[in-house]
Amino acid sequence: MITLPFIFALNEPVLWDLHYCHAIIPPNLFKRNSMNKAQFVELVQKHGEYSSKAAADAAIDAVTSAITEALSQKEDVALPGFGSFKTAIQAAKEGKVPGTDKTYSKPATTVAKFTASSVLKEKVAGK
């Protein structure tokens, strides 16, 4: 087996297996960064110019509680420049467990949905 180093645009080494003609990609190459709540509170404190992390945390809790309450009452919430939250009815369905003859039924339920605004989509895309 011959492997050649190949540099991705992300400057991560990728090995190409020429015998099987496929890339051997390191598992951390496409790992997503995620922000926990403490980091998010710090970010909100900085952008919102809150005097303390507790104030920023209270603001986050107030916004999420208000959105949750509105959605539980089947109201839509639109935040211009960010997106909109809506509820939708997910239909009941019957299914089969793969590899067995067992079937299951899932009742209809109401789910929350988020649609990003065009402004948010452009910012995320880097435009």
Output the tens digit of pLDDT for each of the chain's 127 residues: 444 444 444 555 555 455 555 555 566 666 678 899 999 999 999 999 999 999 999 999 999 999 999 999 999 999 999 999 999 999 999 999 898 889 999 999 999 999 999 999 999 998 8
Kindly list the distances between the CA atom of residue 104 and the CA atoms of 39, 99, 107, in Å, as whole numbers in the listed order: 40, 13, 10
> CA-to-CA distance for 117 and 113, rounded, in angstroms?
13
Q: What is the pLDDT of residue 99?
A: 87
Q: What is the pLDDT of residue 101?
A: 86
Q: For residue 91, what is the DSSP state?
A: P
**How many residues would you count in the chain?**
127
CATH code at 124? 4.10.520.10
85 and 120 part of one domain: yes
Same domain, 127 and 84: yes
Residue in this structure with the two tokens 């099987």, named with its chain if needed: 20
d(CA 8, CA 16): 12
In a shared domain, residues 126 and 92: yes
5 Cβ contact list (under 8 Å, min separation 6):
13, 14, 15
Q: What is the pLDDT of residue 111?
A: 95
Domain residue limits at 101:
80-127
> What is d(CA 12, CA 31) in angstroms, rounded to the nearest whole number?
12
